A and B are shown apart, each in its own frame.
Chain A
């Protein structure tokens, strides 16, 4: 139908706009589950997390070793590119700085890779300096599989598709390799405050 058509009396969900939110976002009560594939069910006995790629030596942690690392509580806002935001979400995780501590690299980029085929790419400096964690708990409880458990990447200053669920490692790379959504037209960087949703924004 032509532009200008609208459905009489259709309002859509009531959306509360809040000044604390980036442009185009609304406040969401629930925690929507968006999944591009079947939910992985890796048992903790088989789970590991690795730092690989352009590094002096690859690192690897079993679940026990990972959970023995220092972790911290994080309270932060999250913003999904599908326009919902949640303020003050509570997580617990291991800082990526901790995992990269002592790693020698000249790489400028990182690809987070996950169970299933999901990947996302970021500049290395966007996951360091206290900006990113591997989170294993949400709202005081172990992270549920539908929300990315046992562990997901948490990079709250970027759109939430960058906070890759079911993360299993970080691959440090010399070149930027567009990930799952980035290679389909989503913005390579994804800053919600500059509304960088799609390529070219």
Chain B
């Protein structure tokens, strides 16, 4: 349900372990619609036990997809055109 949807704040802890920069104020351009914003305002779907999906609030494109597998992170940032450190 969309009631479960969170925002960039919720992914910040996990993303903070992968990126060395502050994630919630990092900028991005969406590979789907071109929208630019900061990741703190993106929609976050915590698929508990499977992974974390960060989506563009404008077009729902998956900007960042993350899975935590056997102690390692698998990360796909292909949904962004770029990410800029904040």
Contact = CB atoms under 8 A, between A and B. Distances in A.
Q: Is B truly associated with A?
A: yes
Nearest to A34: B47
Given A38-B5, A146-B1, A185 B50 contact: no
B2 interface: yes
B53 interface: yes
Of B5, B47, B60, B76, which is in contact with the most chain A CB atoms at under 10 Å from its CB? Answer: B47
A181 interface: yes
B49 A186 contact: no
Contacts of A198: 69-70
B51 A181 contact: yes
A184 B65 contact: yes
Contact of B55 (A37, A81, A199): A37
B5 A181 contact: no
Contacts of A39: 1-2
B2 A38 contact: yes
Interface residues of A, number: 23
A68 interface: no
Interface string B14-38: 0000000000000000000000000
Contact of A37 (B45, B48, B49, B74): B45
29 contacts: A34-B49, A34-B50, A35-B1, A35-B45, A35-B47, A36-B45, A36-B51, A37-B53, A37-B55, A37-B62, A38-B2, A38-B5, A39-B2, A80-B49, A82-B48, A83-B49, A116-B60, A117-B61, A117-B62, A146-B1, A161-B50, A181-B67, A183-B76, A184-B66, A184-B74, A185-B72, A185-B74, A198-B69, A199-B69
Given A35-B47, A81-B49, A184-B51, 19 more contacts: A34-B47, A34-B50, A36-B47, A37-B53, A37-B62, A39-B1, A81-B50, A83-B49, A116-B60, A117-B60, A117-B61, A180-B65, A184-B66, A184-B69, A185-B72, A186-B50, A186-B69, A198-B69, A198-B70
